[in-house]
Amino acid sequence: MQWNSVSEFFAMGGYAFYVWGSFGATALVMAVESLLIRNRRRQMQQTLRAEHQPNELQT
Amino acid sequence: MNPPPSPSPMQLGLGAVMLAVLRREIALAMRQKGEVLTPLVFFIVVASLFPLGVGPESALLLRMAPGVLWVSALLAAMLSLQRMFASDYADGSLEQMLLSTTPLTLLVAAKALSHFLLSGLPLVLVAPVLGLQFGLDGQSLWILMLSLLLGTPTLSLIGSIGASLTLGVRGAGVLLSLLILPLYIPVLIFGAGAVEAHASGLGSGGHLSLLAALLVLALFFAPLATTAALKISLE
Amino acid sequence: MNKHGIQWFKYASPQNFYFLAGRLWPWFAGLAAVLALVGLWIAFFLAPTDAQQGEGYRIIFVHVPTSQMSMLIYVVMAGWAAIGLAFNTRLSGMMASALAPTGALFAFLSLVTGSLWGKPMWGTWWVWDARLTSELILLFLYLGFLALQSSIDDPRRADKACAVLALVGVVNVPIIYFSVIWWNTLHQGASVSMTRAPSMAAPMLWGMLIMVVAFWMYAIAAALARVRTIILERERHTEWVKHAME
C-alpha cells in the first residue's frame, strides 16, 4: 500500500480530476450502456406481449 | 430520352463496352450541364471561404493552401457522387446492367472512371487558378495538379462504394459523406502532403508514389465492393 | 465427432443462440466484474507512482483497454460481416450490429481518457498525434456503420450493406493508420507523442493486461445481451418468440 491516507488516495497527487474523471467516465458509460441494453430488451418484450395478446382486457 | 442502348456485349469486346458506358455517361451529363458545373463552382466558392475565414495574411494562406485546396476539391468531388447510380436506379438501367453478360465490376469501374472525367478532371484544371489566389508558385501548382490528377480517380472509386451502399436510402447524401470521408483521409494526406513536401524542399516523389499506389489499390478493390453493394441494394 | 458438428450449426440459428446467449452473458459479466476489481486493485494499490507522470499515468489502466478493445471489436465485427456475406447467415449480421455500439462507446472513451491524460501531461486537451487521430477516425467508421444501419429499413439489406461497409473499413484501417503516422511524423515539430506510456514496471503491465481482459469480457457480455433483443426484434413473427414472451 502506498497511500498514507484516504485523502491522499482521492487527491491522486494533484491529478484527481483527470484520473477520477477518466475512471468515472468509463464507469458511467458502462453503466449507461448496460441500462440501455436492459431497457431496450424490456421495451421489446412489452411490445411483443402487446402484439400477441391484443384481445385481452387490460385491467 | 436516353441515348439508344449500346450493341449487345456479345458483339463487342469488354473495352468497347466500357467505352460505351463512358460515352453514355458523358452524353447524359451534357444534358444536365448544371449537375457537372455545380460541384466545380462549389470548389471555387469553398476554397474562397477559407481566406475569408482566417484573414488575408499571405504567409498563412500560402501555408494553408495545399490542405485547403485539397479539402475543397475532395468535398466538391463528393457532391456529385450520388448521381453515379441514382438516375440509373430510377429508370431501370441499373437492373439492366446487373443482368448484362458484361461483368458488373467492369461496368462499375467504367462508371467510376466517367465520374472522374466529369467531376474530378474539371477540379484538376481549375485548381491552379485557385492556387494562384493562395500564392502558390508555378512548380507547386504543377504538383498540385498532378496530385489531384492521381487522387481524384481514387476519390471517384471509393465514392462509388458509398454511392452504391446508400442507393435509395433516405438521407443518402449526408450519409454518403459520413461513410466515405474517413476513407478519403489517406488520399487527402498524401495529396496535400505532396504539395507541402515540394514546398518545403523535401520533394513530392514519395507522396505521389503513394497516391499512385492508392489508385491502383482502389482500381482493384473498389469495383468489387461496389458490385457487392449494388447487388445488395437491388435485391 | 458428428455430434459436435451438429452442435455448432445448431447455434447458428437465432432461436438456439438466443437461449445460449441468455445463459452465457451473466457469466461474462461476472468475469468482467471480478477481473475489473483485481485490475483496479493493482492499478491503485500495487502499481507504483511513476517518476515522470506522477499519479496521472494511472489513466492508462482505462485508456489502453478502451483503445485496444475499440480496435479489436471492429475487427471482430468485420469478421462476423465476412461470415454473414459468405454464408448468408442471419445471425452473423445480428452479432455485428450487437457489437457496434459497444465498440463505438469504447472508441469514444478512448478519446475522452486520452484527452484527460494529455491535458495534465502536455497542457492541451487534444493532441493530433497518430494514435489519437487514428482513434478519432475509427470512431467515425463506427458512426458510419451505425448511421447506415439505422437508415435502411429492411434489416437484411441493412445487415449486408453494413457488412460490406465493415469489410471496406477494416481493409482501410491499416492504410489510414499508416497515412496518419506518415502525416504526423512529417509535421512533427517539437511535439512528442502523448501516448508514450511510462516504462512498464511489472505490476503496471499486469494491471493493464487484466483490465484489457476485463473490458473484453464486458464487451462480450454486452454484445450477447444486446443480440438477444436484436433476435427478438428480427424474429418477432416466429412461434418460438411468441412462446418465449409468454
**DSSP letter for each residue of C21-73:** HHHHHHHHHHHHHHHHHHHHHIIIIISPPBTTTBGGGGGHHHHHHHHHHHHHH
Name the residue among A18, A19, A29 with its Cβ closest to that of C109.
Answer: A29
Label residues C181-200 b or e (16+ Cβ within 10 Å = b): bbbbeeeeeeeeebbeeeee
Which pLDDT does position B163 carry in this prediction? 95
Predicted TM-score (pTM) of the model is: 0.90
In a domain, B4, yes or no: no
How far apart are the CA of A25 and the nearest CA of chain C, in angstroms?
Answer: 7
Alpha-carbon distance of C129 to C133, in angstroms, equals 6
Query: How far are the Cα atoms of A33, B147, C64 from residue C67, in angstroms, in the given order?
Result: 17, 33, 5
d(CA B52, CA B64): 13
Domain that includes residue C211, residue range: 59-245
Chain C residues touching residue B166 (CB < 8 angstroms): 148, 151
In a domain, B165, yes or no: yes
- Given a cut of 70, is residue B5 above it in pLDDT? no
Nine cell digits for residue C56: 496521472
- C1 has a pLDDT exceeding 50: no
Establish if C209 belongs to a structural domain: yes
Sequence-distant (6+) residues with CB within 8 A of B163 are: B81, B82, B84, B85, B86, B176, B226
Q: Give dist(CA B22, CA B19) in Å, integer.
A: 5
Q: Which amino acid is at B208?
A: L
Q: Is C87 on the interface with A (CB under 8 A)?
A: no
| Residue C51 belongs to a domain | no
Can you read off the three cell numbers belonging to residue C71?
480496435
Domain count of chain C? 1
Q: Which of B130-144, C181-195, C205-219 has the lowest mean pLDDT?
A: C181-195
Grid cell listed for A41: 430488451
Number of folded domains that form chain B: 1
Alpha-carbon dihedral of residues C78, C162, C16, A30, nearest 10 degrees? Answer: 70
Of C55, C117, C236, the CB nearest to A13: C55
Distance from C90 to chain B by nearest Cα, in Å? Answer: 14
Phi/psi-derived region of residue C78, left when phi > 0, alpha when psi is between -120 and 50, beta in every other case: alpha
Amino acid at C196: R
List the single range of B79-93, B204-218, C60-74, C97-111 with lowest mean pLDDT. B79-93
With CB atoms and an 8 Å threshold, state whether C109 touches A44: no
CA distance B117 to chain C (A): 24
Asked whether residue C114 is assigned to any structural domain, the reply reads: yes
Can you read off the three cell numbers belonging to residue B28? 447524359
Is pLDDT of B41 > 90? yes
- Domain hosting B145: range is 9-233
B192-210: pLDDT as tens digits: 999 999 988 888 899 999 9
∠ Cα B35 B37 B39 (to 5°): 80
Chain centroid offset of residue B226 CA:
15
- Residue with the larger pLDDT of the pair C10 and C17: C17
Query: Are C203 and C46 contacting, i.e. CB atoms less than 8 angstroms apart?
Result: yes
Mutation target to probe the A interface, by most A beta carbons within 10 A, among C45, C53, C55 is C55
Going by pLDDT thresholds of 50, 70 and 90, the confidence category of residue C7 is low
Classify residue B3: in a domain, yes or no: no
Q: Is C87 in the B-facing interface, judged by CB distances under 8 Å?
A: no
Q: Which three cell numbers stand for residue B122?
A: 474539371
- Nearest by CB to residue B179, choosing from C137, C144, C180, is C144
What is the average pLDDT value for chain B, to the nearest integer?
Answer: 91
Separation in Å, CA B158 to CA B181, B183, B214, B228, C161: 10, 7, 10, 14, 15
The pLDDT tens digits of the residues spanning A4-40 come to 778 878 887 888 899 999 999 999 999 999 999 999 9
Alpha-carbon distance values, B232 to B80, B164, C119 (Å): 22, 9, 46
Max mean pLDDT range (A45-59, B179-193, C39-53, C178-192): B179-193
Chain C residues in contact with B193 (beta carbon < 8 A): 182-183, 186
pLDDT at B214 over 50: yes
Estimate to the nearest angstrom the gap between the alpha carbon of B12 and the chain centroid: 28
Q: Does any domain span residue C49?
A: no
CB C180 within 8 A of CB C138: no
Confidence band of A1 (pLDDT split at 50, 70, 90): low
Whether C226 is in a domain gets the answer yes
In Å, the largest CA–CA distance within chain B is 61
Domain-located, residue B126: yes
Please answer whether residues C213 and C38 qualify as being in contact, where contact means their C-beta atoms are separated by less than 8 angstroms: no
H/E/C letters for each residue in B91-132?
HCHHHHHHHCCCCHHHHHHHHHHHHHHHHHHHHHHHHHHHHH
How many residues would you count in chain A?
A: 59
3-state SS record for B68-91: HHHHHHHHHHHHCCCHHHHHHHHH
Can you give the pLDDT at residue C191? Answer: 43
* pLDDT for residue C190: 37
Confidence of residue B31 (pLDDT cuts 50, 70, 90): confident
Question: What mean pLDDT comes out for the span B40-55?
Answer: 94
Query: Which chain C positions have a beta carbon within 8 Å of B195's beta carbon?
Result: none
Chains B and A, touching by 3 or more CB pairs within 8 angstroms: no
Per-residue pLDDT band for B190 (boundaries 50, 70, 90) equals: very high
**CB-based contact (8 Å) between A31 and chain C?**
no
Angle at C110 between CA C106 and CA C111, to 5 degrees: 120
C-alpha span between B28 and B22 (Å, rounded): 10
H/E stretch holding B12? none
A18, C102: Cβ pair inside 8 Å? no
What are residue C111's phi and psi, to 5 degrees? -70, -40
Tell me what the mean pLDDT of segment C112-125 comes to.
89
Q: Chain C residues with CB inside 8 Å of A17's CB?
A: 116
Closest CA to B147 of B86, B76, B209, B75: B209
The verdict on A41 touching C (C-beta cutoff 8 Å) is yes
